[in-house]
Chains A and B, each alone.
Chain A
Amino acid sequence: MATVSMDQVNKVYPNGFHAVHDLSLEVADGEFMVLVGPSGCGKTTALRMVAGLEDISSGIMRIGGREVNDLSPKERDIAMVFQNYALYPHMTVAENIGFALKLRKLPKDKLDAKVKETAEILGLTEWLNRKPGQLSGGQRQRVAMGRAIVREPSVFLMDEPLSNLDAKLRVQMRAEVSRIQRRIGVATVYVTHDQIEAMTMGDRVAVMRAGVLQQCDNPQVLYDRPDNIFVAAFIGSPAMNLYEGTVGDGGRSVRLGSQQIDLPGAVTVAHSGLASYAGKTVVVGLRPEHLPAAQAGLTGPVLTGDVDLVEALGSELVIHFTIDAKRVVAEGAHAADAEAATISGEGVARVDPRTPAKAGDRLNFAIDTDGIQFFDPDSGAAIWT
């Protein structure tokens, strides 16, 4: 039985704004489910409906098998970590962690023992008598988690808890949050706008856009088999290159601008639905990591581009190039796309750091056709069989 079950849940605000549309999602016991999407996609609203902080306009919300639509947050057996931690600034770390237990009138000795145990799990023992104002961002974040853990809820809810941390600390805390969640083994719903966080932390990732669930799957499936253009462009960094292409006879080739790309048999079989688009325009997706620099003597399909910019990251080169095909924008996936759309045919490739490339060069990229994606230009849906 799923710990959290959302069945056609909707949220419509009094001013008529429809924030969440027919959301159906299940979170199993112990599962780490990530809700990801751009700002305003409804992920936080969905989380708040699980918590009971927002009323549900229609649909059924279940936690632990019982319907909770009309139950208060306290009665739902959930714990929540907010983006700004919401620690009580006038209480010590120990008092913050133990506050919920104090409200339940737990005997003092048991309360102190549970607080101490929780502090040990989180490495907060030496900070128990400090106030939140005396702690670093990472420590405050752990106190917020401690306040949630100590209650032993059946569901953890986390609303972008790492957003206020600097980049380096965020990477460190990502691992720590995952470690703690696995140790506690409680079903967790985690909201973030960062797709890297989503991919690294989630057992499953639910991608949302404009209040609608786009796809919910494990991270690798989202990466390899995105259901539509939005998911394809949102997942992956740098974002997938999307171009308008014309399908050849039988779906055995595709033309990007002046360049024809012949598709291997395995790709044609996997995307057999492409044959029905022969002579028509589709959207072709190529991830930057699937465009390594072509080696001399390579026989497979190649994409030739004019190098605009080379960014050396040490472990790889990120090459910005241009081809004479029209770039497609996945609306809302990345803010940079709107600007990129005006630069026709711009693309990004990730190549070996020793590749001799500089701005102004013409470079051949070997296309890893196993990763190539195709989408219907009208519906945006992926084309498979």
Chain B
Amino acid sequence: MRNRKRTGWHRFINGVNISTFLVALFIGLPLYWLIASSFKTPVNIGVDPPQYFPDPLSLSNYKSAFVDYDFGIYFRNSLIVTLIATALVLFLGTLAGYALGRLPMRGKFPMLVALLMISVFPEIALIAPLYILLEHLHWLDSFQALIIPYTAFNLPFAIWILRNYMLGIPKEMEETGRIDGASPLRTVWSIILPQALPGIFTAGIFCFTACWTEFLMALTFNSSNSFRTIPVGVSLFGTIDITPFAQIFAAAVIATVPIGILVFIFRKFVISGLTSGAVKG
């Protein structure tokens, strides 16, 4: 009968689920291939017919990435630059987002428009002048050569997210704080910030990802091996003669781990942070 209710696993067979499965497959298969290949021996990576599951399972690529290709240095550098830049973006962005979203001040709209214009400005157009500036400051081949530009380029987007999130917090929260006797700073710290955490997490994840994967500035400003970050370092694994796919796969897997962990932990905040303020709640 047409209207008979499906039972068992049959009830999962519908258009939405099939489409979702196909999309997940499209996204997940390359990721699986990357991970699987990172555990294959170099010989088995390009073998025909292809090996769908590593056999033998080997950790030698991971060891080689660290020992033979200085991946440890690149990972450390990426971590330092990304964490500091993200912390700066969140600190400054939260304060700016609060001011633009909650405080009475003139010129808010022009400021927001300016921020938007900065955020869509092509990075490549600024590489040359930035290079000259950093050279004058003697900052080339240093952590600050990346930290400061990363902060500057990611701040506008963070401010937009945080400002929109702050707008969704009822103004009675601050008024209650005032009546209770909280100073403005105490109000921000104890009352506003805890409620803005989803927005902060969202901005943090986006900033972290942007800094972690940034290539152009990292390549241009830090040519010394001791200050290279992961994207640049891994791209230089190969030589004219050899492209060490095995070690590249292993390095790529390690590089995705921090982002994967962050997004997994804070996944529910990512959606709420992006869509906050869209609907009155």
> Which residues from chain A sit less than 8 Å from chain B, CB to CB?
51-53, 72-74, 78-80, 82, 84, 86, 88-90, 99-100, 103-104, 147, 151
Contacts and interface: CB of A to CB of B under 8 A. Distances in A.
B182 A103 contact: yes
Contacts of B179: 51-53, 73-74, 78-80
Interface stretch (B85-93, B170-178, B200-208): B170-178
Given A74-B178, A88-B173, 7 more contacts: A52-B179, A74-B179, A82-B175, A88-B176, A100-B180, A103-B180, A147-B176
A86 B195 contact: no
A90 B175 CA distance: 17
Q: How large is the interface on B (under 10, 10 to 19, 20 to 34, 35 or more residues)?
A: 10 to 19
Interface of B: 170, 172-173, 175-176, 178-182, 186, 190-191, 194-195
A204 to B, nearest CB: 24
B180 A86 contact: no
A80 B176 contact: yes
Contact of B181 (A51, A86, A103): A103
A74 B176 CA distance: 10
Contacts of A100: 180-181
A82 B181 contact: no
Closest A-B pairs by Cβ, 5 of them: A86-B172, A100-B180, A90-B194, A74-B181, A86-B176
Contacts of A79: 179
A92 to B, nearest CB: 12
A103 B195 CA distance: 19
B166 to A, nearest CB: 15
A120 B178 CA distance: 26
Nearest to A157: B179
B39 to A, nearest CB: 43
A60 B170 CA distance: 30
Contact of A74 (B170, B180, B194): B180
Contacts of B172: 82, 84, 86
21 contacts: A51-B175, A51-B179, A52-B178, A53-B179, A73-B179, A74-B178, A74-B179, A74-B181, A80-B176, A82-B176, A86-B170, A86-B172, A86-B176, A88-B173, A88-B195, A89-B195, A90-B195, A99-B190, A100-B180, A100-B181, A151-B180
A86 B172 CA distance: 6
A82 B175 CA distance: 10
A145 to B, nearest CB: 13
A147 B191 CA distance: 15
A99 B180 contact: yes
Contacts of B195: 88-90
Contacts of B178: 52-53, 72-74
A359 to B, nearest CB: 42
Contacts of A88: 173, 176, 191, 194-195
Contact of B170 (A84, A90, A103, A104): A84
B91 to A, nearest CB: 20
A53 to B, nearest CB: 5
Nearest to A88: B191
A89 B173 CA distance: 10
B194 A86 contact: no
Nearest to B178: A73
Contacts of B173: 86, 88
A240 B190 CA distance: 50
A260 to B, nearest CB: 55
A123 to B, nearest CB: 22
Nearest to B173: A86
Interface centre among B170, B175, B195 (most CB of A within 10 A): B175
A189 to B, nearest CB: 14
A84 B182 CA distance: 20
A329 to B, nearest CB: 33
A88 B194 CA distance: 9
A82 B190 CA distance: 19
B175 A86 contact: yes
Nearest to A99: B180
A52 B186 CA distance: 19
B267 to A, nearest CB: 20
A322 B182 CA distance: 59
A151 B182 CA distance: 14
A103 B194 CA distance: 17
B97 to A, nearest CB: 18
Contacts of B170: 84, 86
B268 to A, nearest CB: 15
Contacts of B191: 88
B180 A53 contact: no
Nearest to B172: A86
Contacts of B180: 74, 99-100, 103, 147, 151
A48 to B, nearest CB: 8
A115 to B, nearest CB: 14
A88 B178 CA distance: 13
Contacts of B175: 51, 53, 73, 80, 82, 86
